[in-house]
């Protein structure tokens, strides 16, 4: 019975030992397996000395002799540093806070290059900022942010290169001058805004006056052109009227001349005798007597009247011949 109990106890103890051994082996195997996540790196030290750098993926390390560091992020890191007092070239103290964008390019150098790398970058940023701003006056500092950012990035990148750090960008977040200078700057800005407002108002009034003057000028020009065109039209109308009157008078004279020539031609063809001429002379005198004339000259001898009419006849005959030749 005792032997049986001893056998059972020995078997149980052996089972427990085996279980413990298996559990230890599982723990050891678990510690030997290392999985590195994306965008991270792990430093492996063997017996306290740098051994290798684990990148993304599955890795197996030696138990007990290998020790791994905390995962190191390879993504871009943003470090927002607290405001730093900075003195400008014209002895104005300002508070400037900076933002540094950097990334780790070499995990080994980052781990062993410097103690507390973030604090080292902050202190280096503060000293570099003081050196750069110390060479600038207040106005230049406020208006030269890009220049200061570029200079700081170049200097910090060169200084942190042995630490396995790449400085991507440096930005001046806030520049805070003293309160009295801020008040003076606000007054200056207010005066500048008022000056610009006055200039814009004056320019607006000037443009308005110019537009009004140009409108009046164009109106006067249009009125003058209208008057000119009206006078030209009136002159043309008067000219046309005169031309038409002259043409009508010319036509009347031509018609009268043609009628007279026809009458003379008919008289010549009729070959009137002296008695007919004398009779026509008396008819003409009668017409003269019935007219507006207050005086009538009558020859003393009637024979003279006959001679006068004969002379008139010859004259009319000569005029008829002349007209015929001209025609």
H or E element: which one contains 234? helix 179-270
pLDDT at 326 over 60: no
Report d(CA 197, CA 142) in Å as an integer: 24
72 near 42, Cβ under 8 Å? Answer: yes
Query: For residues 81 and 173, is the Cβ–Cβ distance under 8 A?
Result: no
pLDDT at residue 100, as a whole number: 95
For residue 160, the model assigns a pLDDT of 94
**Segment 113-147, tens digit of pLDDT:** 888 999 999 999 999 999 999 998 888 888 888 99
Which token pair is 80?
């927002």
Of 118, 135, 37, the C-alpha closest to 78 is 118
Q: Are strands 40-46 and 66-68 parallel, antiparallel or unpaired?
A: antiparallel
- Long-range interactions of 28-37: CB distance < 8 A, separation 24+: 28/63, 31/61, 31/63, 32/60, 32/61, 32/62, 32/63, 33/58, 33/59, 33/60, 34/58, 34/59, 34/60, 34/61, 34/68, 35/59, 36/71, 37/71
Cβ neighbours for 252, distance < 8 A, ≥ 6 positions apart: none
Domain extents in the chain: 29-73, 77-177, 272-327
> Where is pLDDT greater, at 283 or 240?
240
Q: How confident is the model at residue 50 (pLDDT cuts 50, 70, 90)?
A: very high
Cα separations in angstroms, 149 against 78, 89, 105, 171, 318: 15, 18, 22, 6, 122
Cα diameter, the chain: 217
Position 302 confidence tier, pLDDT thresholds 50, 70, 90: very low
pTM over 0.75: no
List CB contacts of 320: < 8 A, sequence separation 6 or more: 261, 264, 265, 267, 268
Mean pLDDT, rounded, of the chain = 79
Q: Write down the pLDDT at residue 301.
A: 46
- pLDDT tens, 186-196? 787 788 888 88
The 10s digit of each residue's pLDDT in 135-181 is 988 888 888 889 999 999 999 999 999 999 999 999 998 888 888 87
- Span 3-41, pLDDT tens digits: 555 454 666 777 787 888 888 777 777 778 888 999 999
pLDDT tens profile 242-271: 888 888 888 887 877 777 677 666 666 666
Give the CATH architecture of domain 77-177. Answer: 2-Layer Sandwich (3.30)
């Amino acid at each position: 019975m005792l032997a049986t109990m001893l056998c059972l106890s020995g078997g149980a103890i052996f089972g427990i030992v085996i279980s413990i051994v298996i559990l230890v082996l599982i723990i050891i195997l678990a510690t030997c397996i290392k999985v590195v996540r994306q965008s991270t790196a792990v430093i492996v030290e063997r017996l306290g000395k740098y051994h290798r750098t684990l990148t993304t993926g599955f890795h197996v390390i030696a138990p007990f002799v290998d020790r791994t560091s905390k995962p190191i992020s390879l993504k871009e890191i943003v470090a927002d540093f607290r405001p730093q007092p900075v003195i400008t070239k014209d002895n104005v103290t300002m508070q400037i806070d900076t933002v540094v964008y950097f990334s780790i390019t070499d995990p080994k150098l980052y781990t062993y290059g410097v103690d507390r790398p973030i604090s080292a970058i902050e202190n280096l940023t503060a000293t570099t900022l003081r050196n750069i701003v110390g060479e600038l006056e207040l106005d230049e500092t406020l208006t030269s942010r890009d220049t200061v950012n570029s200079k700081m990035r170049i200097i910090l990148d060169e200084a942190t290169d042995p630490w396995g750090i790449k400085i991507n960008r440096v930005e001046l977040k806030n520049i805070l001058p003293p309160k009295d200078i801020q008040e003076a700057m606000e007054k200056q800005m207010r005066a500048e805004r008022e000056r610009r407002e006055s200039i814009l108002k004056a320019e607006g009034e000037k443009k308005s006056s110019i537009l009004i003057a140009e409108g009046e000028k164009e109106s006067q020009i249009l009125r003058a052109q209208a008057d000119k065109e009206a006078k030209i039209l009136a002159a043309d109308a008067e000219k046309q009227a005169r031309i038409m009157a002259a043409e009508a008078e010319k036509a009347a004279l031509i018609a009268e001349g043609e009628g007279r020539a026809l009458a003379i031609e008919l008289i010549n063809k009729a070959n009137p005798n002296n008695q007919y001429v004398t009779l026509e002379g008396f008819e003409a005198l009668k017409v003269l007597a019935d007219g507006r004339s207050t005086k009538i000259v009558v020859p003393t001898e009637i024979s003279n009247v006959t001679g006068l009419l004969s002379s008139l006849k010859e004259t009319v005959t000569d005029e008829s011949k002349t007209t015929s030749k001209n025609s």
